[in-house]
Amino acid sequence: MARLQEHEGKALFKIAKMPIPQGAVAKTPAEARQIAEKIGKPVVIKVQIWAGGRGKAGGVKFADTPEEAEKIAALLLGATIKGYLVEKVLVEEKLSIDKEYYAGIIVNAQADARCPVVMFSTEGGMDIESVPQDKIALMNVDVIRGFKIYDALNLANKVKVPSAHITQVARLMVGLYETFKNYGARLIEINPMVVTKDGKVLASDCRITIDDSSVIRHPELGIKVARESGTPPTELDKIAWWVEEKDLRGTCYFAEMNNHIQGECFGTIGYHGMGGGGAMLGVDGLNKQGLRVPDFADTSGNPPASKVYRAVKLVFSQPGIDGYMLGGFMAANQEQWHHAHGVVKALREELPKRPGFPVMLLLAGNKEKESLEILREGTKDLNARIRIYGGERVYDTVGLAAEMKEMVLEYKKERKG
């Protein structure tokens, strides 16, 4: 996941010469104490996790003394907040807040825009979506022209930022845009941008998501899995990313997900789709038959057999699956024999460990006949429930899922008996 934690984002702000509160990251309570001593005044201690709303979840605390900072850090480090294990806290000077502003940049992909949008509001410190539209100043940026200091001043002026600190606010916005551009961000926010009682303007908190395809240009960010997701990467997600990173031919996507069935759940299917759009069709079909899908794997864009093989191995490495489905719900443009070879190799390793295991293989499109032959020949001696289909069933999500359910019920009964 290419989302940065607060302290990582602030490190980028520092490079852009944007004012941030004095502070540092602590991994132990003793470090937290040392940082607080160095700061020499009351501090705030913030857990470093990906989730927003840390304050309400008890992840942001204040301390008047270094001793107190150490105690609080001891409570927070190792705790689980919003499902995340806290491994680091950021210890910063406590700001005396006069006002809280908001600045953010997103990409507008709509046909009439296709550009970054800079947003600024004097209503900071809360979720920007809850701020009324008329309180937000917006500007679509022409990337060839760039974002200038007077653009920032005009945005701030529009929502009546006082002259006393308008230039500081504008400089922060320009720094934010530079960071957005230089690091290939998809989203970047300062929230809140704090105006202190002594008239300084600082980036007090930040949220940065780096565009997945830009991560490759920034090894210094140390992003392990360049994939957006609502949750931190699991061990399997990390292995899948390793597969992807090592070989850029085609795509091997894998992510574990929370897939719940409404009503009775008849089994869990390790799912391996092909080509995003079609791959989604398969999950829909399985869900409708009461079959849960714990992962979304997808190999597409003409990957080599080795990559397909690794994807199948990942799908099979999930505990508790009652079946495997290769959901090729598309007449592919790519030559399908690479898939056939990769799948056969993995099945020949996995199926001997699982007698009677339900396997549904749907493969259609370019070199279909040859590919189905490879699947049939390569699996005919295996002791498993294997069904192989081609183009005539390419959109039969319902029928194939129903067959899958039948096989799963038989298999489960057999294993019980």
Partner 1 sequence: MAILLTKSTKVVVQGITGREGSMRAKFMRRMGTNVVAGVTPGRGGEEVDGIPVYNTVKDAVKNHGLFDVSVTFIPGTGLKDAVMEALDADIKWIVMPVERVPLYDILEMVAYGKQKGAMLLGPGSIGVNTPGIGALGWLGGSVEFANKHFVPGHVGVISRSGGQSGTLPYVIAQAGFGVSTVLHVGTEPVTGMSFSDVLPLFQEDPDTDVMAIFGEMGGSHEEEAAQLVKSGKFTKPIIIYVSGAWAPAGMKFSHASAIVERGSGSTQDKITRLREAGIIVVDNPNEIPGRLKELKEQGKLRVK
The residues that touch partner 1, with contacts defined as CB under 8 A, are 107, 109-111, 114-116, 129, 142-144, 181, 184, 186, 211-214, 216-217, 227-230, 248-249, 251, 253, 255, 257-259, 274-281, 283-284, 287, 296, 298, 300-302, 329-335, 364-367, 391, 394-398
Nearest to 40 by CA among 62, 60, 64: 64
Q: Which is nearer to partner 1, 245 or 410 (CB)?
A: 245
**What are the Cα distances from residue 258, in Å, to 65, 230, 232, 293, 339?**
43, 10, 13, 8, 27
SS3 track for 24-55 = EEECCHHHHHHHHHHHCCCEEEEECCCCCCCC
Hunting for tokens 């941008």 — which residue is that?
193
Q: How far is the CB of 319 from partner 1 (least distance, A)?
A: 21
Q: How far is the CB of 195 from partner 1 (least distance, A)?
A: 28
Q: How far is the CB of 211 from partner 1 (least distance, A)?
A: 4
Q: Which is nearer to partner 1, 127 or 414 (CB)?
A: 127
Q: Which is nearer to partner 1, 200 or 288 (CB)?
A: 288
Q: How far is the CB of 143 from partner 1 (least distance, A)?
A: 5
Hunting for tokens 């490759």 — which residue is that?
216
Q: Which is nearer to partner 1, 49 or 73 (CB)?
A: 49
Q: How far is the CB of 157 from partner 1 (least distance, A)?
A: 26
**What are the Cα distances from residue 378, in Å, to 81, 96, 250, 343, 347?**
48, 70, 23, 9, 9
Please tell me the distance from the alpha carbon of residue 357 to that of residue 285, in angstroms, as a whole number: 20
Q: Which is nearer to partner 1, 39 or 283 (CB)?
A: 283
Q: How far is the CB of 277 from partner 1 (least distance, A)?
A: 3
Q: Which is nearer to partner 1, 337 or 357 (CB)?
A: 337
Please tell me the distance from the alpha carbon of residue 309 to that of residue 342, in angstroms, as a whole number: 4
Q: How far is the CB of 105 from partner 1 (least distance, A)?
A: 11
Please tell me the distance from the alpha carbon of residue 416 to that of residue 1, in angstroms, as a whole number: 40
Please tell me the distance from the alpha carbon of residue 154 to that of residue 213, in angstroms, as a whole number: 32
Q: Which is nearer to partner 1, 73 or 363 (CB)?
A: 363
Please tell me the distance from the alpha carbon of residue 341 to that of residue 336, in angstroms, as a whole number: 9
Hunting for tokens 């091997």 — which residue is that?
252
Q: Which is nearer to partner 1, 1 or 351 (CB)?
A: 1
Cα angle value 326/349/396 (rounded, 5°)? 15
In 3-state terms, what secondary structure has residue 400?
helix
SS3 track for 201-244 = EEECCEEEEECHHHHHHCHHHCCCCCCCCCCCCCHHHHHHHHHH
Q: What is the DSSP letter of 72?
A: H
- For residue 227, how far is the Cα from the chain centroid? 5
Q: How far is the CB of 267 from partner 1 (least distance, A)?
A: 17
Hunting for tokens 């150490």 — which residue is that?
70
Please tell me the distance from the alpha carbon of residue 90 to that of residue 395, in angstroms, as a whole number: 52
Q: How far is the CB of 320 from partner 1 (least distance, A)?
A: 20
Q: Which is nearer to partner 1, 92 or 244 (CB)?
A: 244
